[in-house]
Amino acid sequence: MKVITTPDPRLRTPSKKVKKITPETHDIIAKMLKASLDWEAKHPHELSAAIAAPQLGINQRIILVRDDLENKDNQSFTAFINPEVTNTEGKTIKDYEGCLSVPFIYGLVPRPSKAKVKALLEDGHEVRLRASGYLARTLLHEIDHLNGILFIDHIKNDKKAFFRMLDDGKIEPMNYDTEIKDNKELFPDD
Ligand SMILES: [Zn+2]
């Protein structure tokens, strides 16, 4: 299954709650894992930190997050079903984010440094996470996907927040006025 990219409207569609965890749910999670690792195999300079079901065109509230966000050799991920942000706190911090569904673009996105998240695991057990740093950022990014929100939406008026990744993995600023502002691929509803 292919990862869909902007301006596909399914990325802007709020996803539905999973009412019951069924074999179909496990199948979606398996597809998400495969799509994530396939994407990474084709992007040698990047790490696939997480993926949300809508990125496969499946509007269900499921996300998959890598267990070790800094180690490409560790390919294990955990699925969270119906994840909800129950609280955010801490300072707002800007850091780089990319997205499988927004090719080549990186953004300096402000997010709270800590988040509490409640979700179901694949076996149906409820978990509560207290995340900080890059894990908090990743969870907030993925849960945004379930609400039809992309990282670029948080920075759409920030002229200095957009960057592109070059073939060699280096990052350079993009020209906001010519490449971002009126870009209908990124902001189709504006
Ligand atoms: Zn994303």
Q: Answer yes or no: is 3 within a domain.
A: no
CATH of residue 33: 3.90.45.10
How far does residue 53's CA lie from ligand 1's centre (Å)?
10
Decide if 179 is catalytic.
Answer: no
Give ion ligand 1 contacts, CB < 5 A: 99
**Count of domains for the chain:** 1
How far does residue 100's CA lie from ligand 1's centre (Å)?
6
Give pLDDT tens digits along the chain (190 positions): 789 999 999 999 999 999 999 999 999 999 999 999 999 999 888 889 999 999 999 999 999 999 999 998 999 999 999 999 999 999 999 999 999 999 989 999 999 999 999 999 999 999 999 999 999 999 999 999 999 999 999 999 999 999 998 888 889 999 999 999 999 999 987 7
How distant is the alpha carbon of residue 144 from its chain centre? 7
Yes or no: say if 16 and 59 are a contact pair by the CB < 8 Å rule.
Answer: yes
For the full predicted model, state whether its pTM sits above 0.85: yes
How far does residue 41's CA lie from ligand 1's centre (Å)?
17
Given the residues 40, 46, 122, 142, the one annotated as active site:
142
**Long-range contacts of 85-88, Cβ-Cβ distance < 8 Å, separation of 24 or more:** 85/115, 85/116, 85/117, 85/139, 85/140, 85/143, 86/116, 86/117, 86/118, 86/128, 87/115, 87/116, 88/112, 88/114, 88/115, 88/116, 88/136, 88/140
pLDDT at position 46 is 87
Domain of 79 in residue numbering reads as 9-180
